[in-house]
Amino acid sequence: MSYKIAFLPRARKDFDEWKRTDSKTVERIKEILRDIAEHPFTGIAKPEPLKNNLAGKWSRRINRTDRIIYSVDGKIVIVYIFSMKGHYHK
């Protein structure tokens, strides 16, 4: 089963900024997003469940300082992407 990827506004802004500034990172992000769509809880970029105020969300490493933050809605088979810059924004 493949999940649909949905960008929330902040994630779209982050992705657009990456597209303007760093094409290599954009390719890495696309690779991670393809992997998330196929298996959101395992795979590349060290998926990890988040805790505390981010409980229910997951993180994948883009690089040393930036993470993709996302949640999965299995009822409608969709992955919501919250952000792609920095570590863990609330």
Q: What is the pLDDT of residues 44-65, one digit of tens each?
A: 999 999 999 999 999 999 999 9
Q: Which of 17, 27, 31, 48 is catalytic?
A: 48
Global model pTM greater than 0.75: yes
- Indicate whether 89 belongs to any domain: no
8 Å CB contact between 51 and 44: no
- The CA distance from 77 to 90, in Å, is 24
- Indicate whether 32 belongs to any domain: yes
Structurally, the chain folds into a number of domains equal to 1
Which amino acid, one-letter code, is at 11? A
In sign, the C-alpha dihedral spanning 36, 38, 42, 45 is: negative
Q: Which residues contact 3 (CB under 8 A, 6 or more apart)?
A: 36, 37, 38, 40, 72, 77, 78, 79
As a whole number, mean pLDDT of residues 35-47 equals: 97
Active site residue 31: no
- Indicate whether 88 belongs to any domain: no
Domain that holds residue 29: 4-83
- Indicate whether 48 belongs to any domain: yes
Active site residue 17: no
User: pLDDT tens digits, residue range 60-87?
Assistant: 999 999 999 999 999 889 899 999 988 7
